[in-house]
Every structure is written in C-alpha cells, then in structure tokens.
Amino acid sequence: MRDDVKDILRKHDLKATPQRIMVYGKLLELGHASADMIYTQLNKENPEMTVATTYNILESFVKAGIIKRLFSSTNKMFFDINTKPHCHIYTETGDHYTDLFDPKLTEIISDYLLSKKIRNFEIEDVSIEIVAKRKNEKNYK
Ligand SMILES: [Zn+2]
C-alpha cells in the first residue's frame, strides 16, 4: 500500500514525504474525514504531527486533485478520498458520510441544469448531500 501511495503522490507532482504518505493512508482508511479526525488518529503515534501540517497536506492534495473537499450541512469541512462523481448521504450523528454511487441521478441533474442553459457557467461537478438519520440509530455506532 505504501508504494501505491508514493506512486499516486508522485504522479501528481507531490514529493512522497513520510507525513504526506501517513495523511493519505489515513484518509484512504477512513474514506471521509475532517482534518481534525485525521490529525487525532495520526498524532497518537506521531506526536510531531500538528493540525496545521495535516490541514496543509490535505489542502495540497485537493489542489493536486487527488482528494475532494466537502462541506457538511453542519458547516464542517471534510475530505473525500474518492474523486469520482458521486453523491453522499450524511448523518449528523457521528458526522458520517456514506457514498451513493448513482450515475443515473448525476446524469439527470446534469442534463436538467444543461437544459436550463445557465449563462456564463460550465458545470464542472455535481455534488449532492442527502442529510438523513439511520432508521436504527440506537444500534449504530
Ligand atoms: Zn464520498
């Protein structure tokens, strides 16, 4: 896995530093996470990791296009390891994202917006967040 991460970083002109490898690896493990969630987990084993370093590394990944930035309905910033078009189901309990891959839904929305001929804009991405709660909230941790 470590070599795969190095390849991904190098492919995007990012030097494969140990800290970048750790941050990417942790986001790969978590799928969706805030900078604080990643920092909290990494700092336990790597006290030299700071929130600022974690955040700066994540921002460099966003700029390079290897991860995406998300803003939850509760105004929290998250990062997503998956850059392919997809929608999200967000549960406020536990600040949890679940991916919803539905190319048809994305296509319907894109086609609808294109049919409206929004002047001076070109659609780059369609991002939908469905806010929901689990039916058996008590049983979910
Ligand atoms: Zn996602």
Q: Supply the CATH number for residue 19's domain.
A: 1.10.10.10
Predicted pLDDT of residue 139: 54
Q: Are residues 39 and 61 in the same domain?
A: yes
What token pair was written down for 107? Answer: 């296509």
Q: Are residues 70 and 9 in the same domain?
A: yes
What is d(CA 110, CA 88) in angstroms, rounded to the nearest whole number? 16
Query: If you average pLDDT over residues 100-123, what whole number do you get?
Result: 81
Tell me how far the alpha carbon of residue 86 lies from the centroid of ligand 1, in angstroms. 6
Q: Are residues 8 and 52 in the same domain?
A: yes
Domain boundary among 80, 95, 111: 80
Query: If you average pLDDT over residues 30-51, what whole number do you get?
Result: 94
Predicted pLDDT of residue 138: 61
Domain boundary among 80, 99, 121: 80
Tell me how far the alpha carbon of residue 99 lies from the centroid of ligand 1, in angstroms. 5
Q: Are residues 50 and 97 in the same domain?
A: no
Number of structural domains in the chain: 2
- Asked if pLDDT for residue 104 goes beyond 60, the answer is yes
Residue 53 lies in a domain: yes
What is d(CA 43, CA 52) in angstroms, rounded to the nearest whole number? 12
3-state secondary structure of 30: helix
Q: Residue 141: pLDDT band by 50, 70, 90 thresholds?
A: very low
Higher pLDDT, 58 or 108: 58
DSSP 137: G
What is d(CA 68, CA 86) in angstroms, rounded to the nearest whole number? 11
Q: Are residues 39 and 92 in the same domain?
A: no
Residue numbers of the domain that contains 110: 87-135
Q: Are residues 10 and 45 in the same domain?
A: yes
Strands (E) across the chain are located at 32-33, 68-71, 77-80, 87-91, 96-100, 129-131
Identify the residue whose tokens are 């967000």: 90
Residue 140 lies in a domain: no
Domain boundary among 80, 106, 124: 80
Q: Kindly list the protein residues that place their beta carbon closer than 5 angstroms to ligand 1, a single-atom ion.
A: 80, 82, 99
Tell me how far the alpha carbon of residue 87 lies from the centroid of ligand 1, in angstroms. 7
pTM of the predicted structure, to 2 decimals: 0.83
Q: Are residues 15 and 34 in the same domain?
A: yes
Q: Are residues 76 and 19 in the same domain?
A: yes
Q: Are residues 75 and 91 in the same domain?
A: no
Candidate from 34-38, 81-85, 117-121 with smallest mean pLDDT: 117-121
Predicted pLDDT of residue 134: 86
For the chain, what is the mean pLDDT? 88
What is d(CA 93, CA 133) in angstroms, rounded to the nearest whole number? 7
- Asked if pLDDT for residue 94 goes beyond 60, the answer is yes
What pLDDT digit, counting tens, does each position of 48-73 carry? 999 999 999 999 999 999 999 999 88
